[in-house]
Amino acid sequence: MTTSGIPTTMRAAVLHGPGQLSLAERPVPEPGPGEVLVRVEAVGTCGSDVHYYRHGRIGDFVVREPLVLGHEAAGTVVACGPGADPRRMGRRVSIEPGTPCGSCGECRPGRYNLCPDMRFLATPPVDGAFCEYLAVHQDFAHEVPDCLTIEDAALLEPLSVAVWACRKARVAPGDRVLITGAGPIGLVTAQTARAFGAREVMVTDVLPHRLAMARATGATALDVSATPLRDAGYTPTVLLECSGVPAVSGEAIRTVGRAGRVVLVGMGGDEIPLPLSRVQNHELELTGTFRYAHTWPTATALVASGAVRLDSLVSHGYGLAEAESALTVATHDATAVKAVIYPQR
């Protein structure tokens, strides 16, 4: 690869165990066949990063050896490996964090998000993007137009979750959509549902600042600590459950109208109380989502057109040496929504 101006070592924020994060010096990765080397310029912090930091595991994924967190990343291509397109040099890219095998029974039909051999950034044992340089396959380093900020480019990843959820729900003009949970995913899902043509979007939560952000997207905001959802008189055609709270899921499903669609997006408890009579008597469709597939072009177009605004999600910014603060800010600042790490600072 061309290495002019690229150092041989870089800084990385490394998780050694629950609550144990420190800066380390690591070799700059060498891009392999078909890969590009990206100078990482912005990384959003996700709830999964916080969970790994606090608990050292998510389900069956356990941090057994030092791990670099972060998977919502963007930057600039600074080198190309063998077989990679040299025209990618100098291009700003948003990184799709999962690299599938490309040949299994899920990848061949296009369901690569379900690839059993997926290598996903910041999912043990695969290191993530809280570092200065990252080698990724060129097919998953998506170029972004100049009208997108580097924060926009990084947050195309959570926006892709919203795009995939709306596709799974077949959100279309005329739909009445209910979104439970006004975290970052719920907020971008509200904008995406509107962009897909929903005539009405309601977002529920209990935090005033997040409900205010939902209203700013054009959604109706419901504080369920004051008015229970069952008393709101809202009958959606689509439920996009983004809270991950089992009790919330069960209550929300009970409001969905006949032939409605339910998509479980938020990750939380292992089981939910399923109101089976509602599902059967109203012929509800219920499905889950797992990440996304083929979403980056749509996500990029939504932001470039102005249909979705991602800048309002960024509440805090930190340098790489402050990565621990980015992961803990929500515990001491109730207004925190999305912290972004800038590894070059």
pLDDT digits (tens, 9 = 90+) for 247-278: 999 999 999 999 999 999 998 777 889 999 99
pLDDT digits (tens, 9 = 90+) for 95-119: 999 999 999 999 999 999 999 999 9
Average pLDDT over the chain reads: 96
Count the alpha carbons within 13 Å of 234 in the hemisphere toward its beta carbon.
Answer: 25
User: How far is it, in rounded angstroms, from Cα 67 to Cα 99?
Assistant: 18
Q: Where in the chain is the domain with CATH 3.90.180.10?
A: 9-155+310-342
What pTM did the predictor assign? 0.96
pLDDT digits (tens, 9 = 90+) for 206-219: 999 999 999 999 99
Confidence of residue 2 (pLDDT cuts 50, 70, 90): very low
* CATH architecture for segment(s) 9-155+310-342: Alpha-Beta Complex (3.90)
Q: Among the CATH numbers 3.20.20.120, 3.30.70.260, 3.40.50.720, 1.10.20.140, which is that of 161-288?
A: 3.40.50.720
Q: For the chain, list the strands marked E by DSSP.
A: 9-17, 20-27, 35-44, 57-58, 61-62, 67-68, 72-80, 92-95, 98-99, 119-120, 133-137, 141-143, 176-180, 200-205, 220-223, 238-241, 261-264, 285-288, 314-319, 338-342
Q: Where in the chain is the domain with CATH 3.40.50.720?
A: 161-288
User: How far is it, in rounded angstroms, from Cα 24 to Cα 18?
Assistant: 17
- In sequence order, which residues have a C-beta less than 8 Å from that of residue 291 and are 6 or more positions away? 98, 113, 120, 160, 161, 164
User: How far is it, in rounded angstroms, from Cα 132 to Cα 150?
Assistant: 15
User: How far is it, in rounded angstroms, from Cα 237 to Cα 302?
Assistant: 23
The predicted pLDDT at position 270 comes to 79
pLDDT digits (tens, 9 = 90+) for 296-343: 999 999 999 999 999 999 999 999 999 999 999 988 898 999 999 999
The predicted pLDDT at position 1 comes to 44
**Range 63-67 average pLDDT:** 96
Tell me the torsion sign for CA atoms 254, 255, 257, 263. negative
Confidence of residue 120 (pLDDT cuts 50, 70, 90): very high
- In this predicted structure, the answer to whether residue 174 has a pLDDT above a threshold of 70 is yes
Residue (of 69, 75, 71) closest to 24 by Cα position: 69
